[in-house]
């Protein structure tokens, strides 16, 4: 009997002891700074201990303004994380789904400010399809000077370098991009640049001139398919040397003035014709390029050129981007993949290049 009583007493003491200790421990956790609030938001004990090891009380208060942060550890241990910016990181994270890297970049860059309208502008830019992180400062500058432009226009115009005047901030184009190289009023070719694959254009396809082989072969395919359907095309002007462009441009300037000449003729080094990848096209029998727009051949080209890797390089209503008047006759070979995207998304080559070529 005695043994059993003692045994029961020991058990009872054990149970009471366990309960008391447990209660004390719970009490301790509850006493930790805002433990219950952190639990309510959804943090588990491991995460809470981690939070205590990283954040002081004022920063815990900041953390608790926001919903559960799944990526908290990645944020706090990011190489560019700054504790002073904690609230801005979290606020931005709350409003927009973008990479942590982008959030940290934007916040650290001071592009994220206390001004709500400003933040909303930055956030709406980031959501835009063609937003380029590296150009953020330029977007903001451009926006400041052009407050009536929409976010979409700001992105589009800066991507096309329109925040710079034509023929300013120019640089040599990266010819290693091959068929994707860009030549326009910001990117030029050296005087000595000659495509290394020039071939003669056969008389059945056009004028007795030269063109880059890759573009020429694509054109032959296009030409033959068009002909089978009853459309007769003619290459009027493909490759032009730097020297030839110099003569051409100077003559236009003499007869029409520099300002006008610049709208339709490129300055030497800035002509796409020097790449060998561009060609002015007509319908056979046309006596001038201007006649091409009203031919059935042009309608066919407009619909089909991209299937062979060509784009209408200077489209209507995009003059302010390309810097050239609408040229129904001027086609540029960029390859099938690029041409398809440009056609389907209705982009100029300037916009395509910034986002799809230069970025990579």
Q: Applying CB under 5 A, which part among 39-47, 176-184, 327-335, 344-352 lies near Zn ion?
A: 327-335
Contact call for residues 187 and 172 (beta carbons, < 8 A): yes
**How many CB atoms are closer than 10 A to CB 307?**
15
For 358, which DSSP code? I
Catalytic pick from 91, 272, 297, 327?
327
56-75 residues near Zn ion, rule: CB under 5 A: none
Q: Which range touches Zn ion (CB under 5 A), out of 20-28, 78-86, 299-307, 328-336?
A: 328-336
Residues forming a β-bridge with 331: 279, 312
Nearer to Zn ion, 85 or 245 (CB): 245
* Stretch of 6-14, 218-226, 241-249, 322-330 lying at the interface with Zn ion (CB under 5 A): 322-330
Residue 163 · residue 136 · CB < 8 Å? no
Residue 330 lies near Zn ion (rule: CB under 5 A)? yes
Count of CB atoms within 10 A of residue 230's CB? 9
Please report how close the Cβ of residue 215 comes to Zn ion at its closest, in angstroms: 13
Closest approach of Cβ 266 to Zn ion, in Å? Answer: 8
- Tell me, yes or no, if 129 is annotated catalytic: no
The CA distance from 144 to 111, in Å, is 13
Enclosing H/E stretch for 200: strand 198-200
Q: Does 188 bind Zn ion (CB under 5 A)?
A: no
* Residue 280 near Zn ion by CB under 5 A: yes
The least distance separating Zn ion from the CB of residue 248, rounded to whole angstroms, comes to 10
Instruction: Give the whole-angstrom CA distance, residue 197 versus residue 214.
Output: 8
Least distance in angstroms from the C-beta of 236 to Zn ion? 9
Q: Which is nearer to Zn ion, 185 or 330 (CB)?
A: 330
| Residues with Cβ within 8 Å of residue 39, at least 6 apart in sequence | 48
Residues 99-158 interacting with Zn ion (rule: CB under 5 A): none
Q: Does 249 bind Zn ion (CB under 5 A)?
A: no
Return phi, psi of residue 256, to 5°: -125, -5
Residue nearest to Zn ion (CB): 330
Q: Residues in the chain, how many?
A: 360
Q: Is the dihedral of CA 310, 316, 322, 325 positive or negative?
A: positive
CB of 280 to Zn ion, least distance (A): 4
| Residue 332 binding Zn ion, by CB under 5 A | no
CB of 326 to Zn ion, least distance (A): 12
Count the site residues for Zn ion by CB under 5 A. Answer: 2
Q: Which residues contact 246 (CB under 8 A, 6 or more apart)?
A: 268
Cα-only R_g, the chain: 33
Minimum CB distance to Zn ion smaller for 318 or for 330: 330
Q: Quick check: 313 binds Zn ion (CB under 5 A)? A: no
Catalytic residues: 327
Enumerate binding residues for Zn ion (CB under 5 A).
280, 330
């Amino acid at each position: 009997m005695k043994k059993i009583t003692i045994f029961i007493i020991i058990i009872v003491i054990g149970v009471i002891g366990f309960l008391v200790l447990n209660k004390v421990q719970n009490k301790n956790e509850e006493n930790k700074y805002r433990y219950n609030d952190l639990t309510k938001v959804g943090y588990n004990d491991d995460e809470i201990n981690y939070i205590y090891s990283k954040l002081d009380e004022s920063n815990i208060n900041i953390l608790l303004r926001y919903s559960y942060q799944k990526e908290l550890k990645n944020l706090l241990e990011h190489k560019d994380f700054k504790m002073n910016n904690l609230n801005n990181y979290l606020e931005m994270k709350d409003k927009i789904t973008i990479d942590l890297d982008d959030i940290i970049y934007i916040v650290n860059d001071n592009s994220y400010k206390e001004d709500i309208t400003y933040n909303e502008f930055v956030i709406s830019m980031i959501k835009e399809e063609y937003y380029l992180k590296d150009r953020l400062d330029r977007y903001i500058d451009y926006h400041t000077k052009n407050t009536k432009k929409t976010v979409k226009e700001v992105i589009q115009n800066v991507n096309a370098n329109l925040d710079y005047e034509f023929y300013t901030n120019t640089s040599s184009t990266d010819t290693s991009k091959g068929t994707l190289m860009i030549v326009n009023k910001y990117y030029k070719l050296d005087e000595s640049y000659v495509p290394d694959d020039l071939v003669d254009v056969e008389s059945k396809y056009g004028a007795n001139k030269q063109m880059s082989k890759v573009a020429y072969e694509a054109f032959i395919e296009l030409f033959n398919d068009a002909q089978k359907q009853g459309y007769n095309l003619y290459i009027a002007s493909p490759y032009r040397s730097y020297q030839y462009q110099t003569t051409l441009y100077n003559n236009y300037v003499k007869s029409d003035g520099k300002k006008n000449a610049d709208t339709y003729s490129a300055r030497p080094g800035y002509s796409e014709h020097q790449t060998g990848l561009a060609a002015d096209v007509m319908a056979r029998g046309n006596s001038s390029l201007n006649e091409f727009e009203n031919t059935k051949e042009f309608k066919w080209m407009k619909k089909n050129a991209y299937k062979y890797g060509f784009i209408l390089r200077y489209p209507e209503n995009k003059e302010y981007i390309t810097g050239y008047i609408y040229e129904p006759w001027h086609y540029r070979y960029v390859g099938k993949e690029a041409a398809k995207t440009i056609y389907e998304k209705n982009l100029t080559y300037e916009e395509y290049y910034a986002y799809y070529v230069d970025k990579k």
